[in-house]
Amino acid sequence: LRVGYPEVVFTEGKDIEHLRRILIDMLNRDANILATRMSEEVFENIKDISENMIYNKIARICIINPKDVEKVGKVAVVTGGTADIKVAEEAAITLEAFGNNVERVYDVGVAGIHRLFLNLDKIRDANCIVAVAGMEGALPSVVAGLVDVPVIAVPTSVGYGANFNGLSALLTMLNSCAAGISVVNIDNGFGAGYLASMINKGFTKNGGER
């Protein structure tokens, strides 16, 4: 169906032997694979199955047998802090693998909001914004108040104490007073990236995959 785009495998919780078999089957039909949530340990175990692999340790994504894909439009990926970058990179790498230009704007959270304003130009001309934040999770609200495109909010589990593993940021984002925001699961960088790709593609009408 999605000709040219990667097939996605969620590796977390999969038995290592089971995972090897799935990946080899896919390679046998020459698939382009985006394997998410892959630990270094799992990567070490499966890295012999192909010579054409790129493993991104921060995003915990392994791209196997990548295809050349033209990048269109633009999605901005912003984070509140530096600890949110691993989730942001899951989104960004997913976006690039699906053929989107990505603008990364990291560490611009509300406690130092001037950094956000200094980077506003980079954000404003994107077709869609993925806003990633932990702790108090206020960044997506502020961003959505400043732009007029869809903002996909990704709460992260970054923080401690009353953040309750991301619940705090999740609730903040669901209760945003700004219009144009929607939310995905805690730490779900892939889901945000995939949805942002859909929106950016629709906005730039390239390729006609729909």
Ligand X SMILES: Nc1ncnc2c1ncn2[C@@H]1O[C@H](COP(=O)(O)O)[C@@H](O)[C@H]1O
If we measure between CA atoms, which residue out of 128, 150, 123, 153 comes closest to residue 138? 153
Which one among 6, 32, 37, 116 touches ligand X, defined by CB under 6 A? 37
Q: Which is nearer to ligand X, 52 or 82 (CB)?
A: 82
Which residue matches tokens 């990667």? 6
29 binds, among its own copies, ligand X, Mg ion, none (CB under 5 to 8 A by kind): none
For residue 206, report the phi and psi dihedrals to the nearest 5 degrees: -100, 145
Using rule CB under 6 A, residue 190 touches ligand X: yes
Residue 206 exposure: Cα atoms within 13 Å on the Cβ side? 14
Which one among 18, 179, 208, 210 touches ligand X, defined by CB under 6 A? 179
Q: Which is nearer to ligand X, 121 or 195 (CB)?
A: 195
Chain residues 108-147 in contact with Mg ion, contact rule CB under 5 A = 144
Which one among 32, 36, 100, 200 touches ligand X, defined by CB under 6 A? 36
CB distance 88 to 117 below 8 Å: no
Residue 85 exposure: Cα atoms within 13 Å on the Cβ side? 11
9 binds, among its own copies, ligand X, Mg ion, none (CB under 5 to 8 A by kind): ligand X
CB distance 123 to 76 below 8 Å: yes
Q: Minimum Å distance from CB 201 to its own copies?
A: 9
Q: Which is nearer to ligand X, 121 or 209 (CB)?
A: 209
Q: Which is nearer to Mg ion, 87 or 144 (CB)?
A: 144
Residues 6 or more apart whose CB falls under 8 angstroms from that of 104 comprise 76, 77, 88, 92
Q: Which is nearer to its own copies, 40 or 52 (CB)?
A: 40
Chain residues 87-116 in contact with ligand X, contact rule CB under 6 A = none
Q: What is the 3-state secondary structure (H, E, C) of 69-100?
A: CCCEEEEEEEECCCCCHHHHHHHHHHHHHCCE
Footprint of Mg ion (CB under 5 A) = 144, 180
Under the rule (CB under 6 A), what is the footprint of ligand X? 8-10, 36-37, 81-82, 179, 188, 190-191
